[in-house]
Structure 1
Amino acid sequence: MLQQYKHILVAVDGSYEAEIAFKKAIAVAQRNDAELLLVHIVDTRAFQNVSSFDSAMVEQVTAAAKKTMADYVQTAEDAGLKNVSYTIEYGAPKTVIARDIPKERNIDLIMIGATGLNAVERLLIGSVTAYVTREAPCDVLVVRTDLENKPVLATTKKPSPDNEQ
């Protein structure tokens, strides 16, 4: 029996690894004629340590996320996808991606970039990717290679304005 996914979630956070996962998710959604749901999580725990917490900060982050997500949707639609949407959620990325959204939206595949954390960082703060692979109620595809199937973590990151030639 051929597995066909109908509701694909891809987590995007602005990282290089998430960008590659997004590009591969477009291809998987095309092959499966599936809905693609783009998810961005605003980690509200980051705001808890700000002594002068201001709701304007959350509004700024949300506005920037909306613009970014609209650009992602446009890219997916330009690639030929017809059923693309996004959601911006607030909370702990691990649980929102692994548990909340899959249950609410009937997700059958989560695509997520491999972590860029080193071993010490994973030990101290944990990896969203590792948590999602353990706790999700559906299949999880961890994207470890770029579009040419070369390891993402071994490839050169996107050029920054500082190191462009």
Structure 2
Amino acid sequence: MLTQYQHIQVSVDGSKEADLAFSKAVVIAKRNGAILDILHVIDTRSFQNVSSFDSAMVEQVSNDAKKRMEEYKSRAIKAGIKDVHYSIEFGSPKTIIARDFPKKHDIDLIVVGATGLNAVERLLIGSVTEYVTRTANCDVLVCRTQEIKDALSAD
């Protein structure tokens, strides 16, 4: 049986792997006529290590994320996605990507890159992708190959 996805979430963090996942999510959303939600989570743990918490730094990170998300949205629209949205969330990427956002937005497919953290972070706190694949209540596509991105670039 071939599943028809209606509401696809792609999680992006600015990495090469996330860009690949985005490209594949666009192709899948277009093929299915699905809604595409582009999600970026700003990990609040990174601000806890700053001795003098500076709201200007948070604002700069938020502005950079918004600019990047506008670019992703524009790319999706140019590729033919009719219903595309983006969200910038603050908190734990693992729980927001795997549980909170999908539940709130009735997501039926999560698309993520195979990696994103460096090797030390994966060892200490675990991979976000691994957590998502273990705990999400919907299908999860972990992107590892370039083929669809190349096909999207040819359009």
TM-score under structure 2 length normalisation:
0.92
* Aligned-partner residue type, residue 126 of structure 2: G
Distance, in Å, in 2 between the alignment partners of 1:61 and 1:114 is 24
Q: Which residues in structure 2 correspond to 1:78-89 (within 5 Å)?
A: 78-89=78-89
Aligned residue-pair number: 150
| Equivalent pair of 1:112/1:143 in contact (CA under 8 Å) | yes
Task: Give the aligned partner of residue 161 of structure 1.
Answer: none
Within the alignment, does 1:132 sit opposite 2:132 as a pair? Answer: yes
Q: Tell me which structure has the larger Cα radius of gyration.
A: 1
SS at the partner of 2:2? coil
Task: Give the aligned partner of residue 25 of structure 2.
Answer: 25
* Aligned-partner residue type, residue 130 of structure 2: A
SS at the partner of 1:133? helix
SS at the partner of 1:100? helix
Distance, in Å, in 2 between the alignment partners of 1:110 and 1:30 is 15
Task: Give the aligned partner of residue 153 of structure 2.
Answer: none
Aligned-CA RMSD value: 1.7
User: Sequence identity, in percent?
Assistant: 65
TM-score under structure 1 length normalisation:
0.86
Q: Deviations over 1:83-137 (max 9, x none)?
A: 0000000001000000100100000000000015566542212100000000101
| Equivalent pair of 2:8/2:36 in contact (CA under 8 Å) | yes
| Equivalent pair of 2:18/2:116 in contact (CA under 8 Å) | no
Within the alignment, does 1:103 sit opposite 2:93 as a pair? Answer: no
Q: Which residues in structure 2 correspond to 1:57-96 (within 5 Å)?
A: 57-96=57-96
Distance, in Å, in 2 between the alignment partners of 1:56 and 1:75 is 29
Distance, in Å, in 2 between the alignment partners of 1:2 and 1:48 is 45
Which structure's residues are more often helix, by fraction?
2
| Equivalent pair of 1:20/1:147 in contact (CA under 8 Å) | no
Q: What runs of 5+ residues in structure 2 fail to find an aligned partner?
A: 151-155
Task: Give the aligned partner of residue 45 of structure 1.
Answer: 45
Runs of 4+ in 1 over 4 A off after TM superposition: 116-121
Q: Deviations over 1:62-102 (max 9, x none)?
A: 01111110010000000011000000000010000001001
* Aligned-partner residue type, residue 135 of structure 1: T
* Aligned-partner residue type, residue 14 of structure 2: G
SS at the partner of 1:53? coil
Within the alignment, does 1:123 sit opposite 2:114 as a pair? Answer: no
Q: 1:4 to 1:27 in 2, by over 3 A?
A: same
Q: 1:120 to 1:71 in 2, by over 3 A?
A: closer
SS at the partner of 1:137? coil
| Equivalent pair of 2:65/2:88 in contact (CA under 8 Å) | yes
